Amino acid sequence: MSPDSAPSDTTPTDAESACFEAGIKFGSLYHQFAGTPISPESVSSLTTAMEQSIENQPHCSDVTVDVRTNELETALADSSADYTELTGRFLEVEIVVDYEGCEVVTRMEMQDGYPLMRLESVRS
Amino acid sequence: MSPDSAPSDTTPTDAESACFEAGIKFGSLYHQFAGTPISPESVSSLTTAMEQSIENQPHCSDVTVDVRTNELETALADSSADYTELTGRFLEVEIVVDYEGCEVVTRMEMQDGYPLMRLESVRS
Amino acid sequence: MSPDSAPSDTTPTDAESACFEAGIKFGSLYHQFAGTPISPESVSSLTTAMEQSIENQPHCSDVTVDVRTNELETALADSSADYTELTGRFLEVEIVVDYEGCEVVTRMEMQDGYPLMRLESVRS
Amino acid sequence: MSPDSAPSDTTPTDAESACFEAGIKFGSLYHQFAGTPISPESVSSLTTAMEQSIENQPHCSDVTVDVRTNELETALADSSADYTELTGRFLEVEIVVDYEGCEVVTRMEMQDGYPLMRLESVRS
């Protein structure tokens, strides 16, 4: 192996860096806001704040947060309280990252009771 | 002292319970949102979300969150980034709790570089 | 009413301040750590960190965090994942605050599906 | 272009998915624990909890959290309090993710006053 071939073996590509950046945004969004008190009345202000705060992060071109209001109302109907805590069960999120011209689209949805975050597309 | 006087010695009054509730709201607000990415553009959505989410909590009649924008702009002028993280340095908060007719007003402001939370008034 | 009697009407007592401080600790503990990934293997390190970090706060003399492991195991048995997120359902917490000689004991336990924080005793 | 070539253009590779997973862990670790009260006495329990909680997440093979104690002591010497809040200034973190045989090493360190998270190597 030539001395200078080693680095290129493991040096991240722009697409890989874009995916890393997208993951950071998802982990940030989820763990910053999980646990926030939420009711039907405060859904709109919370989703706007989530979108705008994470869009501050580098290379983050778009964040869309939807709260599954049916699921929220079901949770509240079962409860003695009129609010609950934000958790993945109530969320659908799309985040678009643009890193050095590489666009990555990622999404979080419930799957088998677990809020699954996944890469949807990577466009170099 | 009579045997049955002991419980009443340590049973909380409504005013004490109101103060406890007010403290919960302050600790919740601070530790839920500390660390959120913030820029001048996202101040408004974040403060609205902070107010409305904490107002969901029981006995919480009013939450007012102000971001000290001068302090935020100073922090950003010193930085290579165009956003920073929310911390007590940027916040002034007033929370009013009403518990069984007892109104408690509480406030957080910076004092000696520390975000001091304090009881302002307790009205039974 | 004399002009100078007004302040004393609403100035907090030491016991009320102690209760406010106790509430801050509870709100902080809950909203700092809610959402943390947890499994039976990481229970011990997380509870120790929760106790020691909140004990750093002013006037906080003791924090005891217990995870209801039966409840945790039930949640994991229902799930495709081998960890879950920390929430009030899994917690029992006692916090003791000492403020100017006034000792307040507070506790969080599940009640009717809601993690209820309450004042247990106030000793002036 | 053949009809079935389109998907492969934007379908993520295993290496890209591994980088996405690594980003999730970093964002999670940072935004879950930023704001935690920290003192020299509680450093050890907090770093252990951060490591073990994030290692619960899927595909996460190793997390190493170091607190820069010099920086922490400097911050405390400037303060009237004997604790402060965890923020990137005090942290050095390495996270290793293994996804479908692809190993990604990532690191967070302060750079120009900003806690920079970066991909160090991607080994397919």
Which pLDDT tens digit goes with each residue over B68-104?
999 999 999 988 889 999 999 999 999 999 999 999 9
pLDDT for res C80: 83
- Low-confidence winner among B114-123, C20-29, D7-16 (lowest mean pLDDT): D7-16
Number of domains chain C is built from:
1
In a mutagenesis test of the B interface, which of C31, C54, C96 is the best target, namely the one with the most B β-carbons within 10 Å?
Answer: C31
Cβ distance A55 to B48 less than 8 Å, yes or no, reads: no
Q: What is the mean pLDDT of residues B6-13?
A: 77
pLDDT higher than 70, residue A82: yes
Of D30, D80, D85, the CB nearest to B87: D85
Segment B47-62, tens digit of pLDDT: 999 999 999 999 999 9
Which of D20, D30, D122 is facing A28, going by the closest CB pair? D30
Interatomic CA distance for residues C118 and B5, integer angstroms: 21
pLDDT at C6: 47
DSSP string for B38-75: E-GGGHHHHHHHHHHHHHTSTTEEEEEEEE-HHHHHHH
Strand partners, B99: B102
Domain membership of residue A6 (yes or no) is no
| Coil/strand/helix, residue D116 | strand
D110 is annotated as contributing to ligand binding:
no
Residue D5 in domain: no
Looking at every residue in chain A, the average pLDDT score rounds to 93
C9 pLDDT exceeds 80? yes
Q: Closest partner residue to A16 among D9, D26, D119, by Cβ?
A: D119
Assigned domain for B56 exists? yes
Residue B4's pLDDT band (cuts 50, 70, 90): very low
**Integer Cα distance of D75 and D83 in angstroms:** 9
**pLDDT surpassing 60 at residue A8:** no
| Cα D67 to Cα D76: distance, rounded to the nearest angstrom | 14
Q: In the complex, which subunits touch C with 3 or more CB pairs below 8 angstroms?
A: A, B, D
Of all residues in chain B, the percent with pLDDT exceeding 90 is: 84
**Rg, chain A, Cα only:** 18
State whether residue A27 sits within 8 Å of chain C by CB: no
pLDDT number for residue B114: 84
What mean pLDDT do residues C46-75 have?
Answer: 97
Chain B partners within 8 Å of A33 (Cβ): 32
C-beta pairs of D42-46 under 8 Å, 24+ apart in sequence? D42/C49, D42/C52, D42/C53, D42/C55, D42/C56, D42/D83, D43/D67, D43/D69, D43/D72, D45/C45, D45/C48, D45/C49, D45/C51, D45/C52, D45/C53, D46/C49, D46/C52, D46/C53, D46/D86
Size of chain A in residues: 124
Residue the block writes with tokens 């002991």: B6
Are the C-beta atoms of D53 and C37 separated by less than 8 Å?
yes
For A16-35, what is the mean pLDDT?
98
pLDDT at B8: 57
| Model confidence at C47: pLDDT above 80 | yes
CA–CA dist B43, B37 (Å, integer): 10
Residue C22 lies in a domain: yes
Collapsing DSSP to helix, strand or coil, A47 comes out as helix
Alpha-carbon Rg for chain D in angstroms: 18
The band of B6, judged by pLDDT with boundaries at 50, 70 and 90, is: very low
Residue B26's identity, in one-letter code, is F
Distance CA C7, CA C11 (A): 6
Exposed e or buried b per residue across D45-73, where buried means at least 16 C-beta atoms within 10 angstroms of its C-beta: bbbbbbbbbbbbbbbbeebebebbeeebe
CA angle A109, A111, A117 (to 5 degrees): 45
ipTM for this prediction: 0.92
Answer yes or no: is D117 a known binding residue.
yes
CB atoms within 10 A of CB C76: 16
Tell me the pLDDT band of A102, cut-offs 50, 70 and 90. Answer: very high
As averages over each run of 10 residues, the pLDDT of chain D (124 residues) reads: 56 97 98 98 98 98 97 92 95 98 96 89 95
Question: Which long-range contacts (C-beta less than 8 Å, at least 24 apart) are formed by B7-11?
Answer: B9/C123, B10/C121, B10/C122, B10/C123, B11/C121, B11/C122
Q: Which residues contact D81 (CB under 8 A, 6 or more apart)?
A: B114, C58
pLDDT of residue C115: 87
- D35 → closest Cβ in B31, B79, B81: B31
Nearest to C99 by CA among C23, C12, C18, C16: C18
Residue with the bigger pLDDT between A79 and C49: it is: C49
**Residue with token string 């902070």:** B50
Spell out the alpha helix ranges (H) of chain D. 5-10, 14-33, 43-55, 69-77
Look at residue A105 and tell me whether its pLDDT is greater than 70. yes
- Identity of the amino acid at A50: M
User: What is chain B's length?
Assistant: 124
Confidence check: pLDDT of C78 > 90: no
Asked if residues D79 and C73 have their Cβ atoms less than 8 Å apart, the reply is no
Report whether B38 contacts B72 (CB < 8 A).
yes
Using an 8 Å Cβ cutoff, are A88 and C35 in contact? no
Could you report the per-residue pLDDT of A50-75, keeping only the tens digit for each? 999 999 999 999 999 999 999 999 99
Question: Which residues of A make up each annotated binding site for substrate?
Answer: 21, 117
A30 occurs within a structural domain: yes
pLDDT band at C67; cut points 50, 70, 90:
very high
Name the phi and psi angles at C57, rounded to 5: -70, 150
Residues A93 and A20: their CA atoms lie apart, in Å, by 17
Classify residue B90 by burial, with Cβ atoms within 10 Å: 0-12, 13-18, 19+: buried
Q: Which residues 36-65 in chain B show a CB within 8 A of chain A?
A: 36-39, 41-42, 45-46, 48-58
Q: Given a cut of 80, is residue C1 above it in pLDDT?
A: no
Match 């999120």 to its residue by tokens: A93
CATH number, domain with residue D70 = 3.30.1300.20
- pLDDT value for D5: 45
- Give yes or no for B78 touching D (CB within 8 A): yes
- pLDDT above 90: residue C23: yes
Task: Please name the residue of chain A whose CA is at the shortest distance from the CA of residue D21.
Answer: A23
Q: Does any domain span residue C5?
A: no
Domain of residue D26, residue span: 13-123
Closest CA to C52 of B122, D28, A56, D39: D39
- Write down the pLDDT at residue B1: 42
